[in-house]
Structure 1
Amino acid sequence: MPYFCVHAFDHPGRLADRQRLRDAHRARLRLHDHPVVVRIGGPLTDDNGAMIGSLLVIEAANRGDVAQFLAGDPYAEAGLYRELTVTRFNWGLGLPEAAHG
C-alpha cells in the first residue's frame, strides 16, 4: 500500500486548543476503525520547542482514505490547522517492513 506524508500547521495562538485536544487526537491516531495505518506521528515544533503542527506518515490505499481519516481528527474538527498538505511518500530509509523481515 502507498504511504502519504501529512504536514499540518496550526493557526497562530492555538496552543491551548492543541493541548486541550491532544489526548483525543492521539487516541484517534491509535484507533483501527478506519482503513488507514498511521506509521509515524508527532508534533512539529518551533525552535523553542513549542508545538506548532503535526507530522504524520500514513499508509493507505488512496488519498481519499487519508482525507477522510484526517477530516475526523479532533484537531481538524476544531479548525486548528491553518495549512494541511498530503503528499505521496516513497519510503526508502528505515522502511518498517525491512526491520521486521
Structure 2
Amino acid sequence: MFYAVIARDRPHGQEQRNALRSPHFDYLNGLGRKVVFAGALFGDDGRMDGSLMVVEAESLDDAKALAAGDPFAVQGLYASWEVKRWTFAVDNATGRTG
C-alpha cells in the first residue's frame, strides 16, 4: 500500500533543514523503492517549509516508522507530520493508474 507523509517544518527551520539535507537524502536513498517520490514543500515566501513523500509499506505503522526514521523527524525539524493512506489516481510520469 501507498502512504503520503505530509510534514511541516518548525518556524525558522531553514538553517537546520540545510544542515540535515545530506543525511536526509542518504536515508531516503537507503530506503530504495519504498520511497515512491519525495520533495520539499514551499511557503508563500518561496522558502522550503516542509516535505511531501509517498512511501510504499505493508501497513500504516510501517509507513509511520519510515517517516519517523527520517533525520528531519529525528532531529526535530518537523513541527508536525502525518501519514495517510494514499492511492494513485493519475500518474502521468509513469502511466501508473489506481
- Name the CA shift for 1:6/1:95 in 2 (closer, same or farther; >3 Å): farther
Instruction: Give the deviation of 1:96 after TM superposition.
Output: 7.2
Distance 1:19 1:9 in 2: 15
Q: Any unmatched runs of 5+ in structure 1?
A: none
- Name the CA shift for 1:97/1:62 in 2 (closer, same or farther; >3 Å): farther
Matched with 2:15 is 16
Distance 2:31 2:14 in 1: 27
3-state DSSP class of the match of 2:18?
A: helix
Contact 2:5 2:67 in 1 (8 A): no
The question of 1:26 aligning with 2:25 is answered yes
Instruction: Give the deviation of 1:78 after TM superposition.
Output: 0.7
- Give the % identical residues: 33
- Name the CA shift for 1:95/1:68 in 2 (closer, same or farther; >3 Å): farther
Distance 1:81 1:59 in 2: 21
Matched with 1:44 is 41
Distance 1:87 1:65 in 2: 12
State the aligned residue count.
96
Q: Any unmatched runs of 5+ in structure 2?
A: none
Matched with 2:3 is 4
Matched with 1:69 is 66
Distance 1:12 1:22 in 2: 17
**Which of these residues, 75, 80, 91, is aligned with residue 77 of structure 2?**
80
Instruction: Give the deviation of 1:73 after TM superposition.
Output: 1.0
**Which of these residues, 51, 55, 72, is aligned with residue 54 of structure 1?**
51
The one-letter amino acid paired with 1:15 is: Q
